[in-house]
Structure 1
Amino acid sequence: MSNRQPERVRTSYDELPGFASYVLEESYVLGVIAEPGVVRFRLEVVLTPEHPAYEEPGSGVYLCYRPGELRFDGVTELDWAGQGASPATDASGEVDYGHVDTMTLENGVYALAGDWGSMRVRAASARVAIDD
């Protein structure tokens, strides 16, 4: 009999189903909402050319941004550290909390980090949705 522990597999978000056509590292976090069972990141999300809603960026813009959210459903555990960083304000007065610099999934727990803090979320599912 072996006492070996099962291998832990850490998966980057872009390898998860439904995430390949988004670039979270370039998407702006506009707000984070945590409610019982749900965590939502309001985003100006960057789409890759493979996304059906992708449009060529206009002059002076290099990426295709769309309003949307990163949503975790069926949340049973949430640990959010490093909260309280002041948001950035751009020249037009828009406020943001930086980007989702990293997001991985390991053994049912999503680990995220950015200027807004770091978060560990045990959730049944995660997805990105673009506003209509």
Structure 2
Amino acid sequence: MTTDYTSLPGLAGVYLEDSYVTAIREGDGNLVFDLDAVLTPSHPAYRPPRRGEQYCYAAASLNFLSPSGVEWIRRSTVRSTDADGLDDLGNIDTFAQSRNSYRLVGDWGEVVVHTEVEPQLTIF
């Protein structure tokens, strides 16, 4: 059975398909996606979009803590730079949970993270 990411408590009110991945970090037993995250009106940190923005964006990190395994299916080193000078690795186009694993796909690559801990989103 596959679960939609918006049903996970830490990801309610976030729209990953239009959020930008600015970095992917691995180490210390974690996998972290740094994001310029799109927040929807249902998110507690939502604010109206700033002038020139389509959405409410917030700096955030999507943390997979203590994974028992991280399987990279493919990786891409293609990078763009956004208007603010940040790296833009693309979006998270697919985020699906199946039992104790999460499959994420985007321009940056495809990865399956095996963990019993739900991912955590931290807004900065």
> Would you say same fold, with TM above 0.5?
yes
| Identical-pair percentage | 37
Query: What does 1:44-83 align with in structure 2 at a 5 Å threshold?
Result: 44-83=36-75
In structure 2, runs of 5+ residues without a counterpart are none
How much has 1:84 moved relative to structure 2? 2.9
Q: Pairwise CA RMSD of aligned residues? A: 1.3
| C-alpha spacing 1:110/1:13, structure 2 compared with 1 (3 Å) | same
Conservation of the 8 A alpha-carbon contact between 1:68 and 1:128: yes
Match of 2:102 in 1: 110
Conservation of the 8 A alpha-carbon contact between 1:23 and 1:48: yes
Secondary structure of 2:42's counterpart equals coil
Q: Which amino acid aligns with 1:110?
A: Y
1:32 aligns with 2:42: no
In structure 1, runs of 5+ residues without a counterpart are 1-8
Aligned partners of 2:47, 2:20: CA distance in 1, in Å? 18
Q: Which amino acid aligns with 1:127?
A: Q
C-alpha deviations, 1:41-86, integer Å up to 9, x for none?
A: 0000111111121110122211000001000012011011321331
| Structure 2 length-normalised TM | 0.92
Secondary structure of 2:75's counterpart equals coil
Aligned partners of 1:101, 1:15: CA distance in 2, in Å? 16
| C-alpha spacing 1:94/1:80, structure 2 compared with 1 (3 Å) | same
Q: Which amino acid aligns with 1:97?
A: L
How much has 1:91 moved relative to structure 2? 4.2
Aligned partners of 1:114, 1:121: CA distance in 2, in Å? 14
Deviates more, 1:111-120 or 1:89-98: 89-98
Secondary structure of 1:118's counterpart equals strand
1:122 aligns with 2:109: no
